[in-house]
Amino acid sequence: MGPHPAVAAIRLAVRRVLHDVLNEFADRVQRPELAEAGSCGRRRALPERPDTPLVLVACSGGADSMALASALAFEARKLAVRAGGITVDHNLQDGSDTRAAEVVARLAAMELDPVEAVAVHVGRDGGPEAAARDARYAALDAAAERHGATAVLLGHTRDDQAETVLLGLARGSGIRSLSGMAAASGPAGRYRRPFLQLDRQTARKACLVQSLPVWDDPHNVDPAYTRSRLRHEGLPALEKALGKGVVEALARTAQLSRDDADALDTWAAEADSAVRDDTGELECAKLYALPPAVRRRVLRRAAVEAGAPAGSLFARHIEEVDRLITGWRGQQAINLPGRVEALRQGGRLVIRQS
């Protein structure tokens, strides 16, 4: 008799990702230039045993990440993969260090190695949820570099994807935001999300039938947090009004939006050089001729290259810059985050540090 269907589902999802990791790792070993970290220009560290990649699981102790850890431990034993685990202690609740130690013990009991708890300080920039996320990813990045990990698995589910799409919609964001979370993201595709096609209940059921203890974070039911309100009030209200299947539909929307956004980004990258003069300045007439979706992407790329932080550059900023092209009436310079300004001079759009 085979495993419970929920257990089989999480193991299959992880197995597929591990096969992808193994194939990509083999390519990097054969072609070392693929191990470059990308924009930071640093070569990614390879594991001490170059024939065996290390895959870490980011585990909070919740049902999603505990199910993910169990599936990684099971599948890694059958493949040429070393498996470890990291838990991040955000220091936001009393006893968080004790819970982190308990998670480490559970990961070690699964024979994951290395395992460690990393304590972080959560700032205030962008609000509590964004600040905690930034601190968490910084810690995971550092742990991956420290251990020479090829990939870090994250336990985001289809339900998380649906919530992300709705949050982007509420902000009035474009299709890149509506595309939600990618199956692979980060430098060289470091972060992998095997469960994006699985619902939250499948992960919880997998923990139940395997007798895996889980910790339910009280922040996940705290109405002070936007995502918590959406999860416990917003989505249930939508399903009551529209019927079942809202989560699945939103997840499909994310994938369709991602495909469209990727295509438009490619188009914008190709158009970027075509709208510049011999000195590299952006020509307003050529920008005006581009489709709006492509033009705004060119403008965003230029602003980021000039020093505007991507995370602080919102649609309203790009719309104001776009008006220098489409609604020119002698406007003053547009101030952007990162002390960057955009202004029109002699038929050219200049985006620079102010």
pLDDT digits (tens, 9 = 90+) for 291-349: 999 999 999 999 999 999 887 888 889 999 999 999 999 999 999 999 999 999 999 99
Asked if the model's pLDDT at residue 141 lies above 90, the reply is yes
User: Would you state the pLDDT for residue 46?
Assistant: 42
Asked if the model's pLDDT at residue 45 lies above 70, the reply is no
Query: Mean per-residue pLDDT for 281-288?
Result: 97
Between residues 190 and 354, which one has the greater pLDDT? 190
Query: Mean per-residue pLDDT for 114-136?
Result: 86
* Predicted confidence (pLDDT) per residue in 147-179, tens digit: 999 999 999 999 999 999 998 888 777 788 889
User: Would you state the pLDDT for residue 251?
Assistant: 94
| 348 phi/psi in degrees, rounded to 5 | -115, 150
In order, the DSSP letters of 98-126 are HHHHHHHHHHHHTT-SSEEEEE-----TT
Closest C-alpha to 143, from 198, 219, 85? 85
Closest C-alpha to 134, from 155, 148, 120? 120
User: Would you state the pLDDT for residue 31?
Assistant: 64
Going by the DSSP 8-state scheme, the letter that residue 183 receives in this structure is S
Asked if the model's pLDDT at residue 36 lies above 90, the reply is no
The beta strand positions in the chain, using DSSP E, are 54-58, 82-89, 115-119, 151-153, 184-185, 191-192, 282-283, 334-336, 340-345, 348-353
User: Would you state the pLDDT for residue 32?
Assistant: 58
Strand order of the β-sheet with 184-185 is: 115-119, 82-89, 54-58, 151-153, 191-192, 184-185
Distance from first CA to last CA of the chain, Å, rounded?
Answer: 68
State percent of the chain over pLDDT 70.
94
User: Would you state the pLDDT for residue 221?
Assistant: 83
Contact 90, 129 (CB under 8 A): no
Mean pLDDT of the chain: 90
Length of the chain: 354
Structure-block tokens of residue 257? 């939006």
- Count CA within 13 A, CB hemisphere, residue 187: 21
User: Would you state the pLDDT for residue 314?
Assistant: 85
Asked if the model's pLDDT at residue 109 lies above 60, the reply is yes
**67-90 burial by CB neighbour count: b if 16+ within 10 A, else e?**
bbbbbbbbbbeebebbbbbbbbbb
In order, the DSSP letters of 275-301 are TB-TTSPEEHHHHHHS-HHHHHHHHHH
Asked if the model's pLDDT at residue 40 lies above 60, the reply is no
User: Would you state the pLDDT for residue 50?
Assistant: 56
* pLDDT band, residue 122 (cuts 50/70/90): confident
In order, the DSSP letters of 194-216 are TTTTS-HHHHHHHHHHTT-----
Q: How many CB atoms lie within 10 A of CB 184?
A: 16
Computed from CA positions of residues 127, 140, 255, 63, in that sequence, does the dihedral angle turn out positive or negative?
negative
Asked if the model's pLDDT at residue 39 lies above 70, the reply is no
Distance between CA atoms of 338 and 323, rounded to whole angstroms? 20
Query: Mean per-residue pLDDT for 21-49?
Result: 60
* Predicted confidence (pLDDT) per residue in 243-270, tens digit: 999 999 999 999 999 999 999 999 999 9
